[in-house]
């Protein structure tokens, strides 16, 4: 029967039901009377994938016929999360499938929970890539993601005795219903070996990279539906497969076991995502991952470019390649290698093509996060690429020497090779030199990029640096995550906001209407109750839905200053115990976030949060007035549950250190009020929502800079503020850790004895004062609600649709 899977009409419930039951029988192999929830989930996912597939093929055909310029987004990370709910809403079949499931006695929301999430990323950078894929598809742009098909994505976090314990997350255990494995899309990726020079007939030198150890890259395709379901784009992820010749070598020697061993070895390449998002550790496997996916992606891109019908000089008109941080920046020497060695394109032509094709997004100024690879490792793994990098560097430095004669310091500073501390390849320098545009991810971040770490490059390439403030997709972060608010907005201004988020501005006038404020408050209150019930169910902790929900959810990092938040919590606790409760609002302070497994300070902060939570939780004198909750295993699904319930959004990083932040945008659009520093996109949030509708505190980046130049005196802050001194003394004398008094000594030492690199003490006083204002405002619930509504109304600019449009216009030259 040909119509087993066919859906005649996606709005026709009975046709959907037939498709679902057929899938259950023929694809899952289960009798409907003896199925488990997971079976239904897989059957449903296959039906939805079917609905995506035809649209996906149509989209590809359309791009082909239009001969449209392609955009390729190369990223080591795509933090996608679950796909079911998002796909259903994007293709407009959510309610229909809800009915179908009810018909067979199932709840769609519950079923959706059985989906494993694709956590192929660490945090901001990976989630940004996922939001941009959604916007590319929604804007009907031919934009494709390339990344790695990790067997193990981000680890899952459990909390045992207050400590973080990492567990591997085998997300592919039951298979991934969304992906199409493509065993026929297979490329060879070379490693090691050596380079030989063979003079040509015309006397020109040619280089060949030989005797390499090879790994195969196999494609997995994941459909990316745009909103409205018209366009479906593609995310192609590469998995490592052993190459055959490699096996054969040992098989011929009769060494079967050795052959299988080597096979597993090379397939380890795509085994696991590196869980460190701030300290670069020059590990060989990581560099191999980077080159592996870059090499496969470029082969694929060039194959689709169809060189047999085109000239390479057309490449920049046909293709734009965006490098998500420096992680894929080995693509620059790789394209050069292909053009030079495999197609005999002359150097100058090859270089012009390369620079016009690539652009690079920088996501961090923190020196410890900037990628550098030892020349020795590079030479061992990628000898030809190192040669090419040397040649790129030589030509660049010669040019710089000519333009800025006599400035030897400049040559050393901008060189791709760092000659100090053992020779190293600075990937950011390579990425800047090899791209026509370099962008920062918020206005302040771009300004600091141009004036601090890359100021020499900004002088050499004045037009190369641009700012594109990050964005978030309103489909997942408002329409899907916050159904209550989405409904209220649509009832008020119509449904157009989902693809034109600036329309939220129409809500501004509603902020003055008491009836709308009441409805808005009712939505927030229901969201808080829902979160409270989840926390009760999963963590067995009772929180008061009427208390102020004060939330900091993000990776655990010293620069994000979860410790500053905690110092406020302790101070509040001390004030309450001192009987100063009269003008304090009951609060629930919620934390969530993972620490990199080797980041001891960050892990100790998690333990401190949990120890403080325990002491406060047991103290009946503050019951009902203060509660601290650490939500374990913060991920995309947890974020979607928490964002709608946030009232106070904690964005308190050391000014100048958070490149942008994107959680700040998610909370604002969900009707939270930000308490934050003048850092990253907080500055632009203040501009958009108005300074009366945000709580700003702390030193600016410039002020901190000045303070440090004059000598930062941590002890002065300690002795000058009794409440700060008390809070720190309580931590250091074991008030929260009676079983181990000096447990938190390393944290206190970093503040007092090691110079407080993140200026926590310097910002404490203004943070506390600002938190007092938060309480005052919260007591006036009408005014609070008004400001919260204005936050929603003025957050439209933070849509990733706006950000992607800016990339298209200013970097890719694919205007919409």
Residues in contact with ligand 26W by CB under 6 A are 122-125, 128, 276-278, 280, 325, 363-364, 369, 371, 441, 470, 658-662, 680
Nearer CB in complex with ligand 26W: 262/325 = 325
Looking at the chain, the number of H-run helices and the number of E-run strands are 33, 24
Q: How many residues does the chain have?
A: 816
DSSP string, 648-713: EEEE-PPTTT-S--SHHHHHHHTTPEEEE-S-TTHHHHHHHH-GGGSEE-S--HHHHHHHHHT---
Nearest-5° Cα angle at 71, 69 to 72: 140
Q: Is the CB of 321 or the CB of 659 nearer to ligand 26W?
A: 659
Comparing CA positions, the residue from 294, 370, 397 lying closest to residue 336 is 294
Those residues whose C-beta lies under 8 Å from the C-beta of residue 221, and which sit 6 or more positions away, are: 179, 180, 182, 234, 235, 236, 237
- How far apart are CB 124 and ligand 26W at their closest, in Å? 3
Residue 362 Cβ vs ligand 26W, minimum distance, rounded to whole Å: 8
CA dist 105 and 98 (Å) reads: 10
- Which residues are the active-site residues? 363, 554-555, 560, 662, 666
Shortest Å distance, C-beta 593 to ligand 26W: 12
753 close to 712: Cβ distance less than 8 angstroms: no
Question: Which pair of structure tokens corresponds to residue 387?
Answer: 């040669």
CA distance 78 to 294: 15
The CA distance from 77 to 374, in Å, is 23
Report the residue closest to ligand 26W, judged by CB: 124
Q: Which residue has the tokens 């320098």?
A: 429
Residue 172 CB, nearest distance to ligand 26W (Å)?
23
Tokens of 323: 């490098």
What is the spatial distance between Cα 350 and Cα 392, in angstroms, rounded to a whole number? 11
Neighbours of 162 (CB within 10 A): 18
* DSSP secondary structure code for residue 623 in this structure: T
Buried b (16+ CB within 10 A) or exposed e, 149-161: bbbbbbbbbebee
* DSSP codes, 180-200: EEEEEEEEEEEES-EEEEEE-
**Beta carbon of residue 196, minimum distance to ligand 26W (angstroms, whole number):** 33
User: What tokens appear for 507 in the block?
Assistant: 């809500």
Q: How far apart are CA 417 and CA 512, in angstroms?
A: 59
CA 682 to chain centre: 17
Residue pair 321/331 in contact by the 8 Å Cβ criterion: yes
- Are 690 and 793 spatial neighbours (Cβ–Cβ below 8 Å)? no
Tell me the Cα Rg of the chain.
Answer: 27
Residue 704 CB, nearest distance to ligand 26W (Å)? 17
Residue 431: in which H helix or E strand, if any?
Answer: helix 427-433
- Which ranges of 552-630 would DSSP assign to H, the alpha helix? 562-577, 600-618
Compare residues 30 and 363 and give the one whose CB is closer to ligand 26W: 363
Those residues whose C-beta lies under 8 Å from the C-beta of residue 731, and which sit 6 or more positions away, are 570, 608, 744, 747, 748
Nearer of residues 647 and 658 to ligand 26W, judged by Cβ: 658
Nearest to ligand 26W of 677, 785 (CB atom): 677
CB of 441 to ligand 26W, least distance (A): 4
The three-class DSSP label of residue 374 is: strand
Q: For residue 104, what are the CA distances in angstroms to 32, 40, 137, 760, 789?
A: 9, 10, 33, 55, 40
- In the complex, least distance from residue 126 CB atom to ligand 26W, rounded to whole angstroms: 7
Least distance (Å) between residue 440 CB and ligand 26W: 9
Q: Nearest-5° angle of CA 798, CA 641, CA 274?
A: 75
Q: How is residue 19 annotated by DSSP?
A: H
Closest approach, Cβ 121 to ligand 26W, in A, equals: 8
Between residues 428 and 724, which has the closer beta carbon with respect to ligand 26W? 428
Our CB check for ligand 26W shows the closer of 122 and 571 to be 122
The strand pair at 156-160 and 163-167 is best described as: antiparallel
User: Can you say how many angstroms the Cα of residue 611 is from the centroid of all Cα atoms in its chain?
Assistant: 29
Q: Give the whole-angstrom CA distance, residue 401 versus residue 733.
A: 58
- Dihedral sign for Cα atoms in the order 804, 806, 808, 810: negative
- Minimum CB separation from ligand 26W for residue 559, in Å? 9
Nearer to ligand 26W, 159 or 369 (CB): 369
For the bound state, the minimum distance from the C-beta of residue 145 to ligand 26W, rounded and expressed in Å, comes to 15
Q: Which is nearer to ligand 26W, 278 or 297 (CB)?
A: 278
Distance in Å, CB of 433 to ligand 26W, minimum: 19
For ligand 26W, give the closer residue by CB, 278 or 482: 278
Q: Which is nearer to ligand 26W, 272 or 441 (CB)?
A: 441
CB atoms closer than 10 angstroms to residue 428: 22
Task: Choose between 47 and 431: whose C-beta lies nearer to ligand 26W.
Answer: 431
Q: Which is nearer to ligand 26W, 22 or 660 (CB)?
A: 660
Strands 232-242 and 695-696: unpaired
């Amino acid at each position: 029967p040909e119509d087993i899977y066919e859906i005649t009409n996606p709005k026709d419930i009975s046709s959907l039901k037939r498709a679902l039951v057929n899938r259950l029988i023929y694809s899952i192999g289960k009798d409907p009377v003896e199925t488990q929830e997971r079976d239904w989930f897989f059957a449903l996912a296959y039906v939805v994938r079917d609905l995506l597939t035809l649209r996906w093929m149509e989209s590809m055909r359309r791009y082909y016929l239009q001969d449209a310029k392609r955009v390729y987004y190369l990223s080591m990370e795509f933090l996608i999360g679950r796909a079911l709910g998002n796909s259903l809403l994007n293709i407009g079949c959510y309610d229909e499938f809800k009915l179908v499931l009810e018909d067979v006695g199932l709840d769609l929301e519950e079923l959706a929970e059985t989906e494993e999430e694709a956590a192929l990323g660490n945090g901001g950078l990976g989630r940004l890539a996922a939001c941009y894929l959604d916007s590319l598809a929604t804007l009907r742009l031919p934009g494709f993601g390339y990344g790695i098909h990790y067997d193990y994505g981000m680890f899952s976090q459990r909390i045992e005795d207050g400590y973080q314990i990492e567990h591997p997350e085998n997300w592919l255990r039951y298979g991934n219903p969304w992906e199409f494995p493509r065993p026929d899309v297979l490329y060879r990726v070379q490693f090691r070996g050596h380079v030989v020079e063979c003079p040509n007939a015309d006397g020109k030198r040619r280089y060949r990279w030989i005797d390499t150890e090879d790994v195969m890259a196999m494609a997995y395709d994941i459909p990316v539906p745009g909103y409205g379901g018209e366009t479906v784009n593609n995310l192609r992820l590469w998995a490592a497969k052993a190459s055959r010749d490699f096996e054969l070598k040992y098989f011929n020697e009769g060494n079967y076991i050795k052959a299988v061993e080597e096979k597993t070895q090379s397939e380890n390449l795509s085994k696991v995502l590196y869980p460190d998002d701030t300290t670069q550790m020059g590990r060989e496997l990581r560099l191999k991952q980077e080159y592996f996916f870059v090499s496969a992606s470029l082969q694929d891109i060039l194959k689709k470019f169809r060189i047999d019908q085109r000239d390479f000089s057309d490449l920049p008109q046909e293709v734009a390649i965006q490098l998500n941080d420096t992680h894929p920046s080995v693509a620059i020497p790789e394209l050069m290698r292909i053009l030079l060695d495999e197609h005999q394109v002359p150097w100058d032509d090859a270089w012009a093509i390369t620079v016009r094709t690539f652009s690079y997004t920088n996501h961090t100024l923190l020196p410890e996060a900037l990628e550098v690879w030892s020349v020795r490792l590079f030479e061992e793994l990628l000898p030809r690429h190192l040669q090419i990098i040397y040649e790129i560097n030589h030509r660049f430095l010669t040019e710089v020497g000519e333009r800025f004669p006599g400035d030897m310091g400049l040559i050393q500073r901008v060189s791709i090779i760092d000659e100090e501390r053992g020779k190293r390849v600075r990937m950011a320098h390579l990425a800047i030199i090899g791209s026509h545009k370099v962008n920062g991810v918020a206005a302040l971040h771009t300004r600091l990029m141009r004036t601090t770490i890359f100021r020499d490059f900004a002088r050499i390439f004045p037009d190369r640096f641009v700012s594109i403030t990050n964005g978030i997709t309103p489909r997942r972060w408002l329409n899907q995550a916050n159904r209550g608010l989405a409904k209220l907005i649509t009832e008020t201004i119509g449904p157009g906001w989902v693809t034109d988020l600036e329309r939220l501005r129409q809500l501004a006038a509603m902020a003055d209407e008491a009836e709308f404020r009441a409805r808005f408050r009712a939505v927030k209150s229901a969201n808080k109750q829902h979160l409270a019930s989840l926390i009760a169910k999963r963590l067995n902790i009772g929180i008061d839905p009427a208390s102020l929900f004060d939330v900091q959810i993000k990776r655990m990092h010293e620069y994000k200053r979860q410790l500053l938040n905690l110092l406020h919590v302790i101070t509040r606790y001390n004030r309450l115990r001192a009987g100063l409760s009269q003008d304090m609002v009951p609060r629930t302070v919620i934390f969530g976030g993972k620490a990199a497994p080797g980041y001891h300070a960050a892990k100790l902060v998690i333990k401190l949060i949990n120890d403080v939570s325990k002491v406060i939780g047991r103290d009946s004198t503050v019951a009902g007035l203060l509660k601290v909750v650490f939500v374990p295993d913060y991920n995309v699904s947890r974020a979607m549950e928490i964002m709608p319930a946030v009232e106070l959004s904690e964005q308190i990083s050391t000014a100048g250190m958070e490149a942008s932040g994107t959680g700040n945008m998610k909370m604002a659009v969900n009707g939270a009020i930000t308490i934050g520093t003048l850092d990253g996109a907080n500055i632009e949030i203040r501009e958009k929502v108005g300074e009366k509708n945000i709580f700003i505190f702390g030193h600016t980046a410039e002020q901190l800079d000045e303070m440090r130049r004059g000598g930062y005196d941590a002890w002065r802050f300690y002795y000058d503020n009794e409440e700060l001194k008390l809070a720190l003394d309580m931590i250091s004398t074991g008030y929260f850790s009676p079983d181990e008094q000096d447990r938190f000594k390393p944290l206190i030492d970093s503040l007092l004895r090691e110079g407080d690199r993140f200026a926590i003490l310097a910002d404490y006083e203004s943070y506390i004062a600002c938190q007092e204002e938060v309480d005052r405002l919260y007591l006036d619930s009408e005014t609070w609600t008004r400001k919260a509504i204005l936050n929603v109304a003025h957050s439209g600019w933070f849509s990733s649709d706006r950000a992607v449009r800016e990339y298209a216009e200013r970097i890719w030259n694919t205007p919409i």
